[in-house]
Structure formats: C-alpha cells, structure tokens
Structure 1
Amino acid sequence: MFGALLRHYREMAALSQEALGGKVGYSKSQVAMVERGHRPPKGGFVPKADAATGANGGLIAAAVKLKFSDLAAWFKPMAEEEARCVARYQYESSSMPGLLQTEAHAYAVHKVACPPLDDDEIDRLVAGRLARQALLTRRPPADVSFVLEMSALTRPIGGRKVHRAQLEHLLEVSELRNVHIQVMSPHRETHVGLNGPFILLEAVDRGRLAYLEVQGKNFLISEQPQLGDLFGLYGMLRSQAHGLEESRELIKQTVKEYAH
C-alpha cells in the first residue's frame, strides 16, 4: 500500500507529517490522508516526497503500481499496453480524451456517471486517469497523435470556467514536440471515422494493437485484417482533418468564445 510505504520512509527520515508537508506543498492533514489511503497523491507529490524522505525511487516505483490500481478493472489491460507503447494514435468523436483532460474536467465527467459513483471512487478513478498522462512527457518520448471532432471542443463539461481551462490546457499540450492534435472540420460532410472512436498502439518491437470501447464494452484487437484496416483508416483521418496549425487556431478561437 502506497500510504504505508510513505509513512515508513517518512519515519525513517525522522520527518513529521507537518515537516514532510512543508517540503511537498501539502498540509499535515493532507499528508495524513495520503498515508491512510484516503487521498490519492496528486501533482508532483510523489517525486517530491521520494526526494524529501530519501526513498531513492521507492515511492516512485510504488506509485507506478498504484496508478494501475486506480483504474477501472476493465481498462487495466489497455493501460498496461499504453504505458509501454512507443506510439499512440486516437480518434475521438464526441468527448475529450482522458490523456488530455484537466483534473477539473475529469472530475466533472465522473460526477455524471450512470450509475452514480461515490466520492472515494471518483477520487480513485480521476487519480488513475491523471497518472496515465505521464505518457505525454515521459523519456524517451512516445509519438502521440489525436484527431478530435469539434464537439470535443464545444461541449462545456463542468461549466464555462472549467471548459475554458480545459481548452487552454489543450493548447499547452499541443506545444509538446511529440504530441500532435488535429481537429476535424465541422463543415466536412463525411469522413472515414463515422463508425466511431478508437485507439491504436505501437510497441517497441513494432507490435500493434487497437482498442475499441462502446458503452462500457471494450475490445483489444491484435489480429489482421482488422488491425491493418484501422491503422490505414487513421492515416486517412489525419489527411481529412485540419492541419496542426489550423487546429491550434481553431482551438484558440474556441477559447475566446468562453472568455466570460
């Protein structure tokens, strides 16, 4: 358990909860909640706590295991493959991909789940979703590409303030050299992705997988010809969508619409 390990390293370093909190930007009560497993470690807590307690990577290794335990059980096989991939491509037809969501957006999404989730479950799932975003900035970098429908930019999930922050975050992520975000023109009458969203993964050994999800049902596809068809389809989607700079301008324009 991450919390018990954190307490062990903190006590070995002769640090009080208050002292550790001062080093990582948490209050005494927040550190206590992490140690009891009542609060997931967020933001830069783990690397800061690892350095402050002299854990020498022990807390970071525990957090890697924790991030998979914080995911919905049905998504864990996909997350494990995703964490190892060297390339990841996603077409999304209606919502903001989890890898691009802000914390506030992720909370807003889970709060309207049906059947409803309790607060602890929401905290756990949001923590797992945010932990996956390490893929965007890890070293060595993965090649990550998204093709988004305009509805992902215009549906104000969480309200106007949350949505504006989400769009601004999208612009920040798009500045990463290994991340490519394209938007499908809302004026295009048709395109090859109308059958629905999907995710493609490429492993270091060049093995390939596709992931499809529909109303809680999910499938990992590793066989031809479906796999090759989906990779070819994604290439066509990229050619049909706006280019990278056009897409950034479209996102900027949408941000302005949520200025007030």
Structure 2
Amino acid sequence: MCVLVVAAFWGRVYAADMAPTLQGHFEQGGIVFGHTNPSTRVQLNGEPVQVSTNGHFVFGFGRDETGPVELKLTASSGEVWQQSYPIASRTFDIQRIDGLPKRTVTPDPEVVAEIRKNNEEVWIARQHRTEREDFANGFIWPAEGRISGVYGSQRVLNGNPRTPHYGLDVAAPTGTPVVAPAGGIVRLAHPDMVLSGGTMIIDHGYGFFSTFLHLSAMHVEVGQEVKQGEVVAEIGATGRATGPHLDWRINWGNVRLDPQYLVPKRN
C-alpha cells in the first residue's frame, strides 16, 4: 500500500477519545481507510459507512467531489465524534478532438442497448456487501507494465464531453498475467462486453471492488474466492481498446476511486 497522508480538517470535536484512526487522501478520487470500535456507527455526509467486525472501514470521493465532507462517529453509549474535512481538487487531463465522423462518436441504437445491458450486469455485481476485510489488508499491482492511462482524464469529441476515464491503464503484451491485487470473491467474469471486452469484478469486502477490463482470458469463475497475488486473468485488447492493456478500476459502492492511491507509484 502506498504511503498515505491524512488531510487537514476543521470542525468541532466531541468525545475526543473516540477519534478514529484514518489513513488516506481527502481529495478528488481519494481513498480513506479507517479503524474504530466495532460497535461504533460511522456516517459520511449523513450516509452510513459499514464497519467490519474488527472495526475496519473504508470510504472515498468521486472525481468531481467538491466537499467539504462531514465524518461522524456515534458510540453505543451515544457519545459523538464529528469532523468536517475539505476535499482537495485535482487537475485532470482534457483532450479535445474535432472533425470525427458521427458514427465514431454516437453508437448505433442496437449497440447502445447492449451497452446498457452490460452496465446493468456490472451494477448488479457491485451490489454485494460481503463481510470480508480483504480491503484492509493492503493492495499490490495487478500486472507488470507501463502506465498508459490515468484516472480522471477525459476526451471531448466534436464538442461533446465523454465519460471520464475512471481507471489506471497498464500497457503490456496480450497474455501478460493479471493477479488479484487483494483477496476477495469474483462477482463478474464476462468474456466480451461491448466497450470493456473481457471484464472481471473482484469483491474485496464492504462495498470495495476491483474491476479489470479488456481481458483476453480469465482463469477464475463467478463465486470463486481468490487470494492476493493469485493469477486470475490475462491482459488483452478486447472490447474497444486501441492496444493490449489492463484497465484497473476501484469502486466504493457506486463511487469511482483512483487505484493509484492503493499501490506504489510507477511510471
């Protein structure tokens, strides 16, 4: 796991001895790991954050989060600890391309329908809330290779902003092994989605998921438990990819986070 920095905060503190241990990045795309008494109730902006049986929890912030955010802990005794944290903004790469044929920007209705079906399968896979603590045990790089794409970048095609890139791309030859960055359970193993090609989702517990895109082969099945470092797939160029690479994504529920915060930096 990368070296983590806790952001500055402001706000009133109640019951200071209840303060949780927090490690992470209070910024756009950032991930924060926490620990508290297992009986404590945790809320972020009024929404519940699940706490594991050993007191671990995790949350994060989307690409466009502006903050500030309010973190509140309530003990079983009723005591409250509360803090407000600013969210640091980031600068993301924006690429503008004009003069493209319409068919390359707007897919056919049949393709749109298939994409929606794929998106629903992905959404369903991420609804699991397994009581596993793999998310709290550290992460490793899922593949060896050169970083060819980063979280948050975006293209504007013919003046139309496209969905930002929410993954970390690792360029490597087709067939390069992909390993589980942390332990978990395989929730999706689709061989050929329209946009993402071979797609796999691993559940690391409590709503924290890894997703792998453009895979050429998969070596595990849905429902299978995997260990950190276990080979689960192979890099490919399936779906809409310009070359062989792994697109690794991290989700906390429906919030898309930056995988770079989980592992040592690489060029």
TM-score range, shorter chain: under 0.3
Task: Return the structure number with greater strand share.
Answer: 2
Return the TM-score normalized by structure 2: 0.25
Return the TM-score normalized by structure 1: 0.25
Task: Return the structure number with greater helix share.
Answer: 1
